[in-house]
Amino acid sequence: MLESDGQEVTKPTTVANDESKRWRGGRSTQARMDERVNYAYSLLLEGNTRRANAELVASRFNISIRTAHDDIAKAMELLKQERLEDRAEMLNIITASRLAVLKKAIRKGNYQVACHLLDSLGRAAGELTQEVASQAAPTLNIEISDKRQA
């Protein structure tokens, strides 16, 4: 381009129109994305803050903080799904353990521990939920009869 005074003006280049300014060269492969999500998952299990995890993912894989946050969100979904799948199995294991300890407590005559375990088993079975407790609440009925009319 030529301006009116004879100087040539070049069009400014941006990331959109200059391939050399792109710092990573396009989308990552699916394997690379899975690797990032798995790394983010392992960081979630360590218990760091989300911001610290995002910075670690971004620095390790040379990605933006926003992409790192997206990877952490995917890792959180994986963790949530895994916990839901494991919940039923864990409840069975906990119930079996409680029953084994209950038998030992009764055998040794430790009835207070046995009562606590029975209470715990009842709550786990939904026996003492708010709905059940409200239905089991005692009701008080008061009737007053007039003895003068009798």
- Check residue 136 and give its pLDDT: 66
The pLDDT value recorded for residue 95 is 84
Count of domains observed in the chain: 1
Residue 118: inside a domain? yes
What b/e readout covers 131-149, taking b as 16+ CB neighbours within 10 angstroms?
A: eeeeeeeeeeeeeeeeeee
Asked if residue 6 belongs to a domain, the reply is no
Residue 9: pLDDT band by 50, 70, 90 thresholds? low
Q: Give me the domain span that covers residue 33.
A: 19-129
Is 28 within a domain? Answer: yes
Question: CA–CA separation, 102 vs 110, rounded Å?
Answer: 9
Give the model's pLDDT for residue 107: 93
CB contact at 8 A, 69 and 50: yes
Checking if the pLDDT of 20 tops 90, the result is: no
**Is residue 24 assigned to a domain?**
yes
pLDDT at residue 79 greater than cutoff 80 = yes
User: Would residue 122 count as lying in a domain?
Assistant: yes
Question: Does residue 7 sit within a domain?
Answer: no
pTM metric for this prediction: 0.48
Q: Are 67 and 58 in contact (CB under 8 A)?
A: yes
The share of the chain scoring above pLDDT 70, in percent, equals: 77
Is residue 48 within 8 A of residue 72, CB to CB? The reply is no
Residue 13 lies in a domain: no
Note the pLDDT of residue 94: 84
Asked whether residue 9 is assigned to any structural domain, the reply reads: no
Is the pLDDT at 21 greater than 70? The verdict is no
**In which band, very low, low, confident or very high, does the pLDDT at 52 lie, cut at 50, 70 and 90?**
very high
Return mean pLDDT, the chain: 81
Amino acid code (one letter) for 106: I
On the question of pLDDT at 96 being above 80, the answer is yes
